[in-house]
Amino acid sequence: MESEKTMKIVTNLDRGAIEAKLVEVRGLAQTNSLPELAMLFTGVEGMPRAQIEQRIANALKWLADKPQHNAIAAQLELVELNLRNL
């Protein structure tokens, strides 16, 4: 039997928490030698919602064929669910 992890879905992140998650994603990308991904989330603090949305969409497309980085994609999907709070 496979072990499955469950991620708690949080939909009440405010701007500060969203930006903190994206900074965390940037750090994960840097740690995993993914400079292209890390660059997408440089300077997200105070960025307009539309720009953040576009960067998340681009990052998720980039990660789509990289299952070894599913944890990063999951964090981005969590942020994506909270973008309405910006």
Mean pLDDT of 1-12: 66
The answer to whether the Cα torsion of 22, 28, 30, 36 is positive or negative is negative
CA-atom Rg of the chain in angstroms: 13
Tokens 């299952």 belong to residue: 67
C-alpha pair distances (Å), 64 with each of 27, 58, 67: 19, 10, 7
DSSP state at residue 65: T
How far apart are the C-alpha atoms of 14 and 71, rounded to whole Å? 21
The domain ranges of the chain are 15-85
- pLDDT tens for each residue of 32-65: 999 999 999 999 999 999 999 999 999 999 999 9
- pLDDT at res. 10: 80
d(CA 64, CA 58): 10
pLDDT at 1: 43
